[in-house]
């Protein structure tokens, strides 16, 4: 048995790719703080930064088998966090554009067709993000939100536990909230219910 905190990044990456949970924990402990500081400086929002880094580690565990065993783990994690930060900025930009166009609509008292075009664009953006969810999560989410099925009904239909269904719906909502921004997310929830 070895001491994980004395292992190199590449040794940890190798062990992680072989499903070693202790190696994952060591990578998390070694890099979380640094990545969080990096993300916080870029985003100027600690909660957003925490979400970004947590999502990165969630993905790291899910895709551990695809990890390059002899690659530079530190560079990989910083690149991944940078890409997630860019995604956040891109979604904020889309959200700001929508809010700005909505404000313009209200200010100029445009005709109903303009509003419908914007609503269609927002619906398209929401649909795009729902389609980007992992397949099982997307199926459960659509059964819950669009077909208004209970967690119990979905569990029976898909042969899953109610807890799994509940967790998948909760995770889907969290992902959509972080990707769409709070304004679009709330509009989406109001339309669905």
What is the structure's pLDDT at 184? 54
Average pLDDT over residues 63-81: 78
What is the pTM (predicted TM-score) of this model? 0.47
Worst-scoring range by mean pLDDT, 18-22, 45-49, 54-58? 45-49
Listed residue (125, 133, 132, 157) closest to 143, CA to CA: 157
SS3 193: coil
* Domains of the chain with CATH codes: 1-108 (1.10.1740.10), 110-193 (1.10.10.10)
Grade residue 110 by pLDDT with cuts at 50, 70 and 90: very low
Listed residue (82, 61, 84) closest to 13, CA to CA: 61
What average pLDDT does the chain have?
Answer: 77
Residues 90-101 have pLDDT tens digits of 766 655 555 555
CB-CB neighbours of 47 under 10 Å: 10
Q: Which residues contact 20 (CB under 8 A, 6 or more apart)?
A: none
Task: Tell whether the model's pLDDT for residue 37 goes beyond 70.
Answer: yes
What is the structure's pLDDT at 193? 43
């Amino acid at each position: 048995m070895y001491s994980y905190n004395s292992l190199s990044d590449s040794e940890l990456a190798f062990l992680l790719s072989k499903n070693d949970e202790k190696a994952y924990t060591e990578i998390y402990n070694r890099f979380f703080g640094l990545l969080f500081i990096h993300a916080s400086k870029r985003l100027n929002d600690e909660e957003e930064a925490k979400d970004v880094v947590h999502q990165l580690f969630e993905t790291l565990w899910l895709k551990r088998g695809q990890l390059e065993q002899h690659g530079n783990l530190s560079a990989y994690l910083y690149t991944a966090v940078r890409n997630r930060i860019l995604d956040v900025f891109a979604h904020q930009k889309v959200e700001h554009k929508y809010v700005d166009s909505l404000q313009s609509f209200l200010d100029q008292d445009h005709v109903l067709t303009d509003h419908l075009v914007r609503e269609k664009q927002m619906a398209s953006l929401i649909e795009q993000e729902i389609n980007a969810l992992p397949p099982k999560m997307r199926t459960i989410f659509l059964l819950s939100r669009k077909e208004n099925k209970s967690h119990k009904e979905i569990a029976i239909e898909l042969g899953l536990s109610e807890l799994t269904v509940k967790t998948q719906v909760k995770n889907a909502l969290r992902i959509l909230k972080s990707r769409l921004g709070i304004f679009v997310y709330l509009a989406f929830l109001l339309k669905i219910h």
